[in-house]
Amino acid sequence: MEAANNNSLTVEIGADGSIVVHGDIDIAGGPTLEAAILSLENTQQVVIDLGDVSFIDSSGLRSLLGASRRAQARKSSVILRSVGPEVTRLLQITGTSDQFAIESSRD
Amino acid sequence: MEAANNNSLTVEIGADGSIVVHGDIDIAGGPTLEAAILSLENTQQVVIDLGDVSFIDSSGLRSLLGASRRAQARKSSVILRSVGPEVTRLLQITGTSDQFAIESSRD
Amino acid sequence: MTELGLIGPVEIRVPPDPSLSRVLRLAASGMASLAGFTIDEIEDIKIAVSEVLLALIEHGSGNPVEVQFESDDHSFKLRGRSFADNFDIEHPDLVLCRSVLAGVCDSHTIDHVDNQAHIWAEVTHKTIE
Amino acid sequence: MTELGLIGPVEIRVPPDPSLSRVLRLAASGMASLAGFTIDEIEDIKIAVSEVLLALIEHGSGNPVEVQFESDDHSFKLRGRSFADNFDIEHPDLVLCRSVLAGVCDSHTIDHVDNQAHIWAEVTHKTIE
Ligand SMILES: Nc1ncnc2c1ncn2[C@@H]1O[C@H](COP(=O)(O)OP(=O)(O)O)[C@@H](O)[C@H]1O
Ligand SMILES: Nc1ncnc2c1ncn2[C@@H]1O[C@H](COP(=O)(O)OP(=O)(O)O)[C@@H](O)[C@H]1O
């Protein structure tokens, strides 16, 4: 059993170094995701697996956009994997889809 | 698409005349279930299928107990089918299991 | 041992509308799940919320109902209140409601003071050390 | 044509704790689902609730946040407010928040009057006649 973290998001590092996100990327979960990205981004390509994410708001998007900006400064990019309809919709609403490399989407 | 009924419970009559309940048997849903029981109980054995019920509170239990009392007055009984753990627990807490004929339970 | 999160208090005021019972259960179970309660404890909390609301709606005077949820390091506490001229604590329906509360909560009280019906209930977290 | 249920108002007061965002979304989506909103509309309502809360928590003054949900026959309305000495409506983060609100809501307003930050938003039900 996990200890409570008052948080609706957990992050795991996949075998290939991808950041696998579970839960809601909101004002509570965004900082956890951001910390995971910061801990990895200087040594490897940032790949974020969103296969288990069905909610994101502007605070979550801010974490992703910050990572994208830093990646671009390093002449790299942020790869989003298994992007669900909720994330796709928020990227479209805010016109920020082109800030990311979308590896794959799901329904 | 169904019209909204502000209600977390719907009731269907099965092919065998059983009352198939979907949703929560609470203060909002109890009356819907009660109306279904009242419309059938004078012409047939009352069988209530709880296979899709995962919540019940004391107001829902009251509807079931009322049906049981009326059935006993007719020298009949109320049969509960596919009883889940939440209903089982409420029957145990309140010591009312013996007011019903439990046809089958599920985990 | 699992530790609980401190969450709340969350204060919710609703009209005496039975259909809101489910909404209050959703809010309470979301809080309890964040706080680290087990699935069985969350089931008990949902029942307690339902009992508090139905007691205040069915036996109150049609006034709005206020509930308050709070999780601390060892329990989930809920309070409910509503202004009510009469509130018959011995009514048979309330007796059933109390027996359910007694079954799912570690402690609870129901009273009627100064034209206000008031219910307090607590579900304790069973830690396995 | 689908008809909506009239539900609420549900008034919720919470401490400025980010983890409660999910609890408020659960309450709002439970209400919207009872009222008859479609799944896509409920997704929009959840995003709107999140944006209202994060604007008031991140840009407020650490005071409790009050939100109010109400569904009438054609829309889901939400309001949020918090006492805040400063509330910079032009802050870049709030600009992103507003652009999301503009995308998911049919109308919204954000203002800061008498030391109170206030957000109002409405998601309309698209009836198919
Ligand atoms: N018994 C109760 N049940 C539910 N909510 C309560 C109860 N008592 C207080 N609250 C909530 O907590 C808030 C603050 O409580 P309190 O300081 O006691 O206020 P009041 O002076 O109005 O009783 C109230 O706005 C109310 O929403
Ligand atoms: N802008 C708002 N955002 C969220 N909740 C609100 C807002 N305005 C009012 N409410 C809620 O509705 C209730 C009644 O509102 P109102 O009569 O305007 O009270 P007040 O005089 O305190 O502003 C308040 O207790 C509050 O919880």
Amino acid at position A52, single letter: D
Pairing of strands D7-14, C7-14: antiparallel
pLDDT the model gives residue B4: 44
Indicate the burial class of B95 (C-beta count within 10 angstroms; 0-12, 13-18, 19 or more): exposed
Q: What is the pTM of this model?
A: 0.93
Task: Say yes or no to pLDDT of A7 above 90.
Answer: no
Query: Would you tell me which residues 56-115 of chain C have a C-beta closer than 8 angstroms to some C-beta of chain B?
Result: 57-58, 93, 96-97, 99-100, 103-104
* pLDDT (mean) for D46-71: 96
Q: What's the rounded Cα separation, in Å, for the pair B55 and B24?
A: 5
Name the residue of D12, D69, D81 to mutate for ligand 2: max ligand atoms within 8 A of Cβ: D81
Note whether C68 and C78 are within 8 A (CB).
yes
Q: How many whole angstroms separate alpha carbon D32 and alpha carbon D20?
A: 18
For this complex, say whether ipTM is above 0.85. Answer: yes
Nearest residue on chain B to D2, judged by CA atoms? B3
- My answer on whether omega of the bond before A31 falls inside 30° of 0, hence cis, is no
pLDDT-based confidence at B45, cuts 50/70/90?
A: very high
Both structure tokens of C127: 């830690």
Q: How confident is the model at residue B2 (pLDDT cuts 50, 70, 90)?
A: very low
For residue B90, the surrounding DSSP H or E stretch is helix B85-94
Output the average pLDDT for chain B.
93
- The contacts of residue B7 (CB under 8 Å, 6+ apart) are B23, B28, B29, B32, C19, D34
* pLDDT score for A5: 55
Q: Mention every residue, 6+ apart, whose C-beta is less than 8 A from residue C64.
A: C13, C14, C15, C16, C82
Look up residue C60 and give its DSSP letter: S
Residues C65 and C84 sit within 8 Å (Cβ to Cβ): no
For residue A6, the model assigns a pLDDT of 61
Listed as ranges, residues in chain C with pLDDT below 70 are: 1-2, 128-129
Rounded CA separation B33/B53 (Å): 12
Strand ordering across the sheet containing B78-81: B9-13, B19-25, B46-56, B78-81, B101-102
Mutate to test the pocket of ligand 1, among C81, C109, C122 (most ligand atoms within 8 A of CB): C81
Of residues D98 and D73, more confidence is placed in: D98
Confidence of residue A24 (pLDDT cuts 50, 70, 90): very high
- pLDDT for D93 equals 84
pLDDT given at position D128: 60
Model confidence pLDDT, tens digit, residues D90-113? 888 899 999 999 999 999 999 999
Tens of pLDDT, residue by residue over D9-49, are 999 999 999 999 999 999 999 999 999 999 999 999 999 99
Query: Which pLDDT value is given to residue D90?
Result: 85
